[in-house]
Structure 1
Amino acid sequence: MIGHVVGKYRLLDQLGEGGMGTVYRAEHVVLGSPAAVKVLLPQFTQDRVVVDRFFQEARTASAIRHPGIVEVFDYGRLPSGQAYIAMELLRGEDLSGFLSRRGKLDVSLAAQIAIQMLGALNATHAVGVIHRDLKPDNIFVVRDPGAPGGIRIKILDFGIAKLINAPPGPHVPGRPKTKDMILGTPAYMAPEQCRGGTPLDARADLYAVGCILFELLTGRPPFIAGGDGEVMAMHIYEPPPRLSNLEPQLPVELDALLAKLLTKDPADRIPSAAYALATLERAPIDPLVGEVALSGAHAVLGAAPAAAPAAAPAPEPSSRWFPGVVIGAALVIAVAIAVAIGAT
């Protein structure tokens, strides 16, 4: 497809390929502006659930106008019927890679990343959207000279995002009903998300922020176990570890904030991203100074649409079976990214 025009964009070269689609570097045919275009493979064109989720990502992201959300330019179908999305071409690295290089982060850097996440989430929740799969893989770090540390985070992958209070779509025969499915990534899922069967709200995203911030500060997620089901059971049944026990030198305000973000009962959790943001900004943490280094060592990577759904076991020791569990990137159509960071 190199050289073909998709919508308003000419495909220049391939950035990556996955089990469900291909990602291309592209440019606008008139303006010459760069973009990333991801194209769903032909065999998924007739799968309404996959295509709906693919387009949902585009519609959801385009509804949120915030520098911390990846920008979608266009979406549609090719004459062949294949679905495509044209979006912002990002240069940087995902937070998973950033963490693997650095280990646990300095408190000023961790706080700045969390502040930016909460700001973007506040804009997301304000338009009635919950993400439902926040994790380091879905947070991208790019260069922004105007931001503290010269970095900006971008929240990606709205493929399983949900409009709050939106009516459910039509049920497709042979597919699990949405209420019977558990969507997300176990290490970062709220207890109510792990249980399944109940509507989620913005507080599920805030629990995920708590898990991510805990990992930024300690180098590990709150719960670690041998399997996904065990991790989900820990979210439901086990109290989270206290930051003060692992990193006693950090401000007590951070320990208190994390305890409230990781509360089991959503009714007792911090109620909004704006509230958590204000709490974090009041904590006695030194401002981030100097420019944070981003990796330019890896090869070009296009995070292509993910492979087919994978099932995860139900959490134990619960005696209930949760049918239709879908984990992580299994149903998420990953955002198109070109990682070729150097000096911007």
Structure 2
Amino acid sequence: MTREADLIGRDIGQVKILQEIGSGGMGVVYKARHKILGTDHAVKVLHPEYASNKKILERFRREALAIRSLQHDNVVFVLDFGWEQGIGAYQIMELLDGISLYQAIKEKQAFGKERLANFVTQVASVLECAHENSILHRDLKPDNIFLCVRHGKQERVKVLDFGIAKVVQEVSNKLTRTGVALGTPQYMSPEQAAGNWEDVDHRSDIYAFASVIYEMLAGKPPVTSNHFTEALVKQTNGDLTPLRMYRPDLDGHYLEQVIHWALAFNREQRPPTAGDFLRELLVAIEALPDEGGSVDTFVDAEEDTGSEFDTQYMPSLSSAPPPSIDPKALEPLPFADTSVPDGALLQDHIFSTQLQAFHQIAPGTFKDEAMRGSVILDITGHVLSSQGFFPEVCVQGVHLVDGICQQLQAARPNGSWRHGFIETKENVMGVFPYLDDVAGMIFGCPEQRESMALDGYVQNSQHTSQEQAQAVVQLASVSGVEAVALFSLDGQLMSHYGLPVEGMDRFVLRFTPVVQAFFSLPFDARGLDVWFEDGRVLAWQLEQIGVLFVFSQKMINKLMLSVLIGRHYVSLIQQCITPVTILPETGPPLSGLGESHGLSSAETEDLPPELAAQVLDMPDCAAALEELEQEYTKHIGPMAKLVVKKTIKKMGFTRKTIPFGELPQLVQQLAGRLNEPKKSDFLAKGAVLSRRK
């Protein structure tokens, strides 16, 4: 796929790309010129990562068809739509001259009576036409409304972005699942924010339209939050700020009543049609003073400390409602008095968008039908929203993985972390940052070729010290790998290749808590795969003994790495217990890594007579140790003997000097490396052996 910057000067259909004029989350907009007519047009091109996504392409196509079917003066005209090799999906549209409504509000432009009436008339006309053609916009907001400059004439309003428009007659809409909130939460109706798509109809567009008018008058929408999830919760709870909080001059005015009529929590209490809403709007606008539509008269509700405009206080409305308005709709809004639970937010478009990114990485694993649940946590690990299957142990895992990813980000100069994947035997979780919070999704077992599982690749053959040293070298030789580091359970760097010597102390300091956090995960993790802006870090847990880190470019053959790790598995485990000499190519040995960390040759020497006399029942103790090693082998594999030997040394003994009375302590320390239920099983067997005399 051609990079977007390379499209300048390219031909698309009958137009030539001249320059980029804007970009967004889904694509880039260019200025282009028709090669025959010489007229200027706008060309919208999807970002390359979306160009092969069938669902997004279908939405892109539907947008073009929806716009073409309307043929309305206030809807941007689409000249052509298509897909070209090397470019992807595109739309050729009319080029607009002016600014978005969002920019006009940001500049605090005045909307006097005439301008406001002209605006609402044109937008309502678009909605009425769309609804009559069974099309819902579903994402009406200031960003999607353009104010065109027309010298000497009235301002022309254009409604843009029908990207998530819905054709009402569709019986099965696979592009929009129940529980998925698509749109912009500050302008969503409660039913749309909750993802209840069966309840979303033309009155949701009317709700969004009223939110836009509200913002034109107040300078901000009725739901204010920079946090996606918080805004969704406010909408589903009907937690709106009364217009009078920002515009006390409109307190009790008919315009306030009409706007809040369209913002009714219950869709049945909103205007029946956009035309009905417009009719009452024009009456209300006409009743305004000349400056009544200007946004430069709003006040900051957060700075107003007077009780007159308390959000819990809604004075009775003085003006009598017109015949078309249900008087009940003008009663105080249920700002914080709704039965809609936070759990109604089953999913939102944050997960739909992220799922597409995950799918690009591992299409066999991250599929819509494989997703079991999702969760959003704040920085303290508190659940803000969740849906589907997401047990508490996985919630804890998401919070801990967030900390691990942040720590990795501090340790490696690869930019901000984008997402991380933690894999267990039963499932894989995708974790990603969202604003100041963290979100996670849980999926079923990954496909073997996309898995970090080492099952089936492990070779239990013993290796010499020289062969052990070559293990990390061979891993580092895989295409795309930049460095390899092996850490023991207690966070010591035991072996590495490719890491710069300069700054090594800081590197080890940063990675020690990563290792400890890895082993603190509330489930048995096979591996961790973290993606950054510029690079990637993969980590494999080696039994309960160590962690192997591979630092790579984004594109790496994970299956090849798993095969090689399995081949050198025993060597890597041995190095977690007994460090090997660091290879010359990686720089001088690190301070703190020397022979003192290895196994002393004195341990294999004959026991001195004075020590031998202190050991009671030596044959029985030796037999118990042998049985203990055999039992431990059942839980961690062939490296059990080395682990037992290392643990005995830390206790201050050798296999020949450890007293029988120290066996219970040895059992406890060995069990500390295991997770349940292995831990309980080993403790029970070890208790029997340590009592045997």
Compute the TM-score of the two structures, normalised by the length of structure 1. 0.77
Q: Which has the higher contact order (CA 8 A, sep 6+)?
A: 1
In structure 2, how many angstroms separate the alpha carbons of the residues matched to 1:60 and 1:232?
27
Relative to structure 1, the CA distance from residue 180 to residue 3 in structure 2 (aligned partners, 3 Å threshold; closer, same or farther) is: same
Give the drift of 1:227: 2.7
- 1:59-138 matches, within 5 Å, as 59-80=65-86, 82-102=88-108, 105-138=111-144
Relative to structure 1, the CA distance from residue 104 to residue 185 in structure 2 (aligned partners, 3 Å threshold; closer, same or farther) is: farther
Give the drift of 1:231: 2.3
The answer to whether structure 1 residue 153 and structure 2 residue 157 are counterparts is yes
Match of 1:277 in 2: 278
In structure 2, how many angstroms separate the alpha carbons of the residues matched to 1:144 and 1:287?
26
In structure 1, how many angstroms separate the alpha carbons of the residues matched to 2:42 and 2:339?
41
Match of 1:216 in 2: 216
The answer to whether structure 1 residue 58 and structure 2 residue 64 are counterparts is yes
In structure 2, how many angstroms separate the alpha carbons of the residues matched to 1:167 and 1:129?
14
Deviates more, 1:230-239 or 1:43-52: 230-239
In structure 1, how many angstroms separate the alpha carbons of the residues matched to 2:10 and 2:249?
56
Match of 1:35 in 2: 41
Q: Which has the larger radius of gyration?
A: 2
Give the drift of 1:138: 0.8
Relative to structure 1, the CA distance from residue 330 to residue 100 in structure 2 (aligned partners, 3 Å threshold; closer, same or farther) is: farther
- 1:218-233 matches, within 5 Å, as 218-225=218-225, 227-233=227-233
In structure 1, how many angstroms separate the alpha carbons of the residues matched to 2:212 and 2:48?
36
In structure 2, how many angstroms separate the alpha carbons of the residues matched to 1:219 and 1:14?
30
Amino acid at match of 1:215: E
Give the drift of 1:88: 0.9
Match of 2:181 in 1: 182
Amino acid at match of 2:160: L
Amino acid at match of 2:90: Y
- 1:158-307 matches, within 5 Å, as 158-170=162-174, 178-199=177-198, 200-225=200-225, 227-238=227-238, 240-244=240-244, 246-250=246-250, 252-283=253-284, 284-285=286-287
CA displacement 1:166-216 (0-9 Å, x = unmatched): 123457xxxxx6223111111111011111123211100110111111111
Relative to structure 1, the CA distance from residue 226 to residue 39 in structure 2 (aligned partners, 3 Å threshold; closer, same or farther) is: closer
Amino acid at match of 2:135: V
Relative to structure 1, the CA distance from residue 6 to residue 118 in structure 2 (aligned partners, 3 Å threshold; closer, same or farther) is: same
SS at match of 1:50: helix
Amino acid at match of 2:178: K
Amino acid at match of 1:90: L
Relative to structure 1, the CA distance from residue 27 to residue 262 in structure 2 (aligned partners, 3 Å threshold; closer, same or farther) is: same
Deviates more, 1:19-28 or 1:48-57: 19-28
Relative to structure 1, the CA distance from residue 141 to residue 245 in structure 2 (aligned partners, 3 Å threshold; closer, same or farther) is: same
Match of 1:342 in 2: none
Residues 67 and 78 in structure 2, CA contact (< 8 A), matched pair in contact too: yes
Relative to structure 1, the CA distance from residue 113 to residue 31 in structure 2 (aligned partners, 3 Å threshold; closer, same or farther) is: same
Amino acid at match of 2:9: G
In structure 2, how many angstroms separate the alpha carbons of the residues matched to 1:248 and 1:20?
39
SS at match of 2:158: strand
Give the drift of 1:143: 1.3
SS at match of 1:178: coil
CA displacement 1:110-146 (0-9 Å, x = unmatched): 3432222112211121211111111111111111347
In structure 1, how many angstroms separate the alpha carbons of the residues matched to 2:173 and 2:189?
24
In structure 2, how many angstroms separate the alpha carbons of the residues matched to 1:145 and 1:103?
17
In structure 2, how many angstroms separate the alpha carbons of the residues matched to 1:135 and 1:179?
23
CA displacement 1:65-96 (0-9 Å, x = unmatched): 22211110000111447111100111111111
Residues 244 and 252 in structure 1, CA contact (< 8 A), matched pair in contact too: no
Match of 2:544 in 1: none
Relative to structure 1, the CA distance from residue 12 to residue 81 in structure 2 (aligned partners, 3 Å threshold; closer, same or farther) is: closer
Residues 223 and 231 in structure 2, CA contact (< 8 A), matched pair in contact too: yes
CA displacement 1:304-338 (0-9 Å, x = unmatched): xxxxxxxxxxx9982415343116x969xxxxxxx
In structure 2, how many angstroms separate the alpha carbons of the residues matched to 1:125 and 1:146?
32
In structure 1, how many angstroms separate the alpha carbons of the residues matched to 2:174 and 2:349?
19
Relative to structure 1, the CA distance from residue 145 to residue 227 in structure 2 (aligned partners, 3 Å threshold; closer, same or farther) is: same
Give the drift of 1:104: 6.5
What are the ranges of 5 or more consecutive residues in structure 1 without an aligned counterpart?
Answer: 172-176, 293-314, 332-344
Amino acid at match of 2:215: E
In structure 2, how many angstroms separate the alpha carbons of the residues matched to 1:84 and 1:288?
44
Give the drift of 1:237: 2.4
SS at match of 1:93: strand
Residues 194 and 236 in structure 2, CA contact (< 8 A), matched pair in contact too: yes
SS at match of 1:179: coil
1:318 to 336, 341, 346: 341
SS at match of 2:220: coil
Residues 194 and 346 in structure 2, CA contact (< 8 A), matched pair in contact too: no
Residues 193 and 345 in structure 2, CA contact (< 8 A), matched pair in contact too: no
1:22 to 28, 36, 39: 28
Residues 229 and 316 in structure 1, CA contact (< 8 A), matched pair in contact too: no
Amino acid at match of 2:224: I
Amino acid at match of 2:77: E
Deviates more, 1:258-267 or 1:21-30: 21-30
SS at match of 2:349: strand
